[in-house]
Structure 1
Amino acid sequence: MIRAFLKKVGLLSDNQEQSPLIIPRKKHGISRKDISENALKVLYRLNKHGYGAYLVGGGVRDLLLGLHPKDFDVATDATPDEVRRIFKNCRLIGRRFRLAHVYFGHDIVEVATFRGKDQTSNEALAHSEKGMILRDNVYGTIKEDVWRRDFTINALYYNIKDFSVVDYVGGYADLKAKKLRIIGSPKERYREDPVRMLRAIRFACKVGFEIPKELSAPMKELKELISHVSSARLFEEMMKMFHSGAAKLAYENLLQQDLFDALFPATAKALGQTTYPTHALLTTVFENTDKRIKEHKTVTPAFIVAALLWHPICLHAQKYVDEGMTVYMARMKAIEDMLREQIKLISMPKRIVQGARDIWLLQMRLGKRQGKRALQLIAEPRFRAAFDFLEVRAHCGEPVKDLATWWKTFIDANEEQRRIMIKALGGKKTRRKPKRKKAPQEES
């Protein structure tokens, strides 16, 4: 069925069905110097043991586009157990897709066995009632594996044996033409795995391609399926999207394709109000994130989470304030409410949740600078992230500009200047309790 569709839309000719397009080393431009040393070790060793070994997916795509991939995935005809026998530094993971992870210190090379046709037992391949693939451990050949992949530009195989690129579906031509195409019917492929809708946006934004109408049209109809994806997978996909160097464009596309509210419903609701500049805040944070990634600087996931949920927290807290709760307690309760609801959709590691919580709580403390408080705050581990967040809020129009300016001056000041700044704030001075006089001892 997939091949028939590809023929219909001109992605597959009779010749392509019989044999793939082989792009030799001298034409495609991929150099082993640009491939990680550990990925090459895995490829060479698999090949040495008589197995086919290929780089596949985003690594090949990015190399062909002149980008620098972070990860290199390997595809092989060796089964996961056979891979484990070859590599002592290997662990098998996953139930949905059985994968081998080969460890080199902190570096992991992911090895997947070619997937085969789906005409097999329910134990190896399982679908949900909505058509989602729940388990897919049917092994096959490279010719079968290619039809199980999602986009043509991700279905290119770099063969370590002769350094050629193998193309069964016209992905090489699509890369050159800057076209994003799905292998098969978009509706069916989205039903099998709703994350493909998010991946389409991520890939298009990362490499600067347009999302064609045939890919975008079914998204609104099928976005409800996203809620059936595991919350851990959605978190992983969101982190990839917002750390791709095109976070701002991805955010805009999520809104345009009407998928944002399926991922962050409370934030989507906040975008529709005028009390807080939610869109400006998110746009600024994503712009800054893209800039930091382009400059090879670190990006804090907790900061992105803090930005996504900050205004929903503020709006939710106001309801508690209206009921008579103090601002501090209202914010505390709103934080827990928002986190609890968001984690149902997109789970987050505890360290990221705690990081976001620290940034939010420090927003309330940054206004209290009298006495020793300013010096205590500046020593907090999350102070810098909290201050950066305060500056973003000020930049976007929240009424904290004077506070952000004060803290910036305080950070740059020397010890004496800081003392003068704190003194200028005024406030109540702590009254010292008079020392209790010792009772005079009677002379004996």
Structure 2
Amino acid sequence: MTEKNKITTALSPDLNEILKKNKEQVKKSGQARLVLNKDQHNIARSALSPHALKVIDGLTKAGFKAYLVGGCIRDLLTGKSPKDFDVSTNATPEQVRRVFSNSRIIGRRFKIVHVVYGKDIIEVTTFRSSKQIPAKRQSDGSGMLVRDNVYGRNIQEDAERRDFTINAIYYDVKKNELLDFHGGLYDLCHGTIDIIGDPAVRYAEDPVRMIRALRFSAKLGFKMSRRTAAPIKEMGINLNQVSNARLFEEVNKLFLTGHGLESFKILNRYGVFEILFPGYRNFGNNPIVSEFIEYALASSDERFQQDKRNMPHFLYAVMLWSIFQERVFSLQQSNDSRITPISVRRIAERAFSEVIEEQNLVTAIPMSSYISMKNTWTLQLLLTDISEEDKCAALASKSYFRGAFDFFKLRSRFEPYLTRFVEFWQPYYNESSRQAELSKAKKEEKEQSRFSKKDKAVKARTGRDSSSGFESEDAAEKNDRLARARAWRISMNLEP
């Protein structure tokens, strides 16, 4: 079933003409209000996050307006279960903070509020406005926004500041109404990604919007409108102005969340992949390199559908492997003419450092991923040495053996000479996997016991369970939450 068919079943069938006229009016006027009542859509209250409802209820009781908006509404209308629920309100971040004791203001350049219920985070944003107030909205020389805290008076103003029409559909929980100001419902029904406002201006304000357009197209199977797609090839170079920490996060979203293969194809089509991975420019016309990446991404997409986690270090190991091999070959040629040649391992280490240093200019690879990548690639040299059984057993006991073997096995599909080594290591891999499952089961059992005791203690002390917010956090959980918040701020270029 296509996305379009799914959307058609989510809305009353007699709405097609209404949606079409609304979109035509948007094209003429820039904005046109459309309200769908409870008889015209099938969003059920039972499908909404109870914590999001609690946030909206709290804001409403405090005298503010609040709506669900964005991806959660898009997902509900397409018959999917949203992973995140975002709330938009006329309350300022400081006012939201006063309403909810279990909340924190995140960021300075673009302030938002995280209301925390255990592991569930409801993101609350204040209505934005397109008004130019220099002290609160600042751009650099290229037009990219570096500060944007101009608050709007209502959702009409807020809708203008959102990126794409399908992400600017609001849901009024109290009235059970959908509100659309930019023809987002029409575009959703027709599988179209359409940017709000002037595409060139909006891409200049935030070049990552180009990546988001391509990602939504890959993820949803939607087409981009002509005006949305047209500037990307020319303006893609603006992505070099975005912080490498933020681009690292965007690359993860592109390739690790179940639509990596489609992302790879569409990024190549618009010339954006080689901007994110500059070393790929030398291999763009090499079908074997493309097939290797495509096969790896298809496997990663399958893992995601099976609720298995995809790791950034493995993604980068795949994307940069051919670049690394070429660099090793080049260094070996130079090494042959040296009076005192260096070892193959040192050549590999030098090649690794050079490749990562160049990639870090675009995407800031964290140290943990850097180390895991290095271990993965180092083992590629060792897995072809099966002469000593003791050394093989020691190698298989390494914590990173299974990931390195997965990569080795992936390579064997394109380098047939590795097949006999794969067959040798497979029993070691199977045993390592079995031991890992046993260890995981024991850890989960221990964690369950710990949380059960903690829930009882918290309830006895406060009368509430441990999912109520920050009060229940231990030091490790607090540090983890704060670390994730800091990583998010850095990735969004929000740190001062």
Counterpart selection for 2:392 from 366, 370, 374: 374
Match of residue 279 from structure 1: 290
Give how far 1:237 is off. 1.4
Q: Secondary structure at the match of 1:22?
A: strand
Listed one character per residue, the Cα deviations across residues 103-153 of structure 1 (whole Å, up to 9, x for unaligned) are 222322211100013221x22001111111111100012110101111100
Q: Which 10-residue stretch deviates more, 131-140 or 178-187?
A: 178-187
* Residue identity matched to 2:383: L
C-alpha displacement of 1:46: 1.4
What is aligned with 1:206? 219
Question: Residue 315 of structure 1 aligns with which residue?
Answer: 326
Q: 1:100 to 1:268 in 2, by over 3 A?
A: same
CA contact (8 A) 2:70 2:168 kept: yes
What letter is aligned with 1:372?
Answer: D
Partners in 2 of 1:84 and 1:131 — Cα distance? 31
Deviations 1:324-373 (A, max 9, x none): 14321111111111111111111132222222222111212212231311
1:404 to 395, 406, 422: 422
- Shift of the alpha carbon at 1:321? 1.2
Q: 1:65 to 1:368 in 2, by over 3 A?
A: same
Give, in whole Å, the separation in 2 of the partners of 1:309 and 1:107: 35
Equivalent residue number for residue 173 of structure 2: 160
For residue 67 of structure 1, report the CA deviation from its aligned partner.
1.8
**Structure-1-length-normalised TM-score:** 0.86
Q: Which residue of the partner structure matches residue 489 of structure 2? A: none
Gaps of 5+ in 2: 1-20, 336-341, 433-496
Identity of aligned residues (%): 37
Check if 1:349 corresponds to 2:366: yes
Alignment partner, residue 328 of structure 1: 345
- 1:175 aligned onto 2:193: no
Cross-structure match for 1:390: 408
Flag the structure with more relative contact order, 1 or 2, with Cα contacts below 8 A and sequence separation at least 6: 2
Q: Which residue of 2 aligns with 1:430?
A: none
* Residues 149 and 183, structure 1, Cα contact 8 Å, conserved in 2: yes
* Matched residue, 1:292: 303
Q: CA deviation at 1:80?
A: 0.5
- For the pair 1:94 / 2:112, whether they are aligned, the reply is no
1:147 paired residue number = 160
2:378 aligned to 361, 377, 389, which one? 361
Distance 1:394 1:323 in 2: 28
SS in 1 for 2:150: coil
Output the CA distance in 2 between the equivalents of 1:241 and 1:24. Answer: 35
Structure-2 change in CA distance of 1:413 and 1:333 (3 Å): same
Structure 2 SS opposite 1:345: coil
The structural deviation recorded for 1:259 is 0.7
- CA deviations over 1:378-434 (Å, ceiling 9, x no partner): 1111111111111111113364222112211444479xxxxxxxxxxxxxxxxxxxx
Residue type at the aligned position of 2:400: R
Residues of 1 paired with 2:242 and 2:146: CA distance? 10
Contact 2:408 2:422 in 1 (8 A): yes
Residue of 296, 303, 306 corresponding to 2:314: 303
Q: CA deviation at 1:29?
A: 1.7
Structure 1 residues 13 and 321, CA gap change in structure 2 (3 angstroms): closer
Distance 1:162 1:208, change over 3 A: same
Query: Which AA in structure 2 matches 1:392?
Result: L
Matches within 5 A, 1:14-33: 17=31, 20-33=33-46
Residue 339 of structure 1 corresponds to 356
What RMSD in Å do the two structures reach over aligned CA positions?
Answer: 2.2
Residues 398 and 93 of structure 1: CA distance in aligned 2, closer, same or farther (over 3 Å): farther
- Compute the displacement of 1:48 (Å): 2.0
Cα distance change, pair 123–16 in 1 and its aligned pair in 2 (3 A): closer
Question: SS of the residue aligned with 1:165?
Answer: strand
Q: What is the CA-CA distance between 1:207 and the residue it aligns to?
A: 1.1
Taking the aligned partners of 1:27 and 1:243, their CA distance within structure 2 comes to 36
Equivalent in 256, 263, 272 of residue 259 of structure 1:
272
Work out whether residues 76 and 114 of structure 1, in 8 Å CA contact, stay in contact via their aligned partners in 2.
yes
Please state if 1:47 is matched with 2:60.
Answer: yes
Which structure features the higher share of helix residues?
2
Q: 1: CA distance between counterparts of 2:360 and 2:431?
A: 40
8 Å contact from structure 1 (residues 260, 268) kept in 2:
no
> Which amino acid is 2:208 matched to?
V
Contact 1:47-1:161 at 8 Å conserved across structures: no
Query: CA, structure 1 residues 333+14, in 2 after alignment: closer, same or farther (shift >3 Å)?
Result: closer
Query: Are the aligned partners of 1:220 and 1:258 in contact in 2 as well (CA < 8 Å)?
Result: yes
SS at match of 2:292: helix
- Show the counterpart of 2:452: none
Letter paired with 1:336: S
**CA 189–14 in structure 1, closer or farther in 2 if over 3 Å, else same:** closer
Following TM superposition, by how much is the alpha carbon of 1:9 offset from its aligned partner in structure 2, in angstroms? 8.4
Structure 1: runs of 5+ lacking an equivalent: 1-6, 415-444
Larger Rg: 1
Task: Decide whether aligned partners of structure 1 residues 226 and 283 sit closer, same or farther in structure 2, where only a CA change above 3 A counts.
Answer: same
Cα offset, 1:271, TM superposition = 3.5
Call closer, same or farther: CA 1:229–1:13 in 2, change over 3 Å. closer
- Paired letter, 1:380: K
Amino acid at match of 1:12: V
Which whole-Å CA distance do the structure 2 matches of 1:388 and 1:204 have between them? Answer: 29
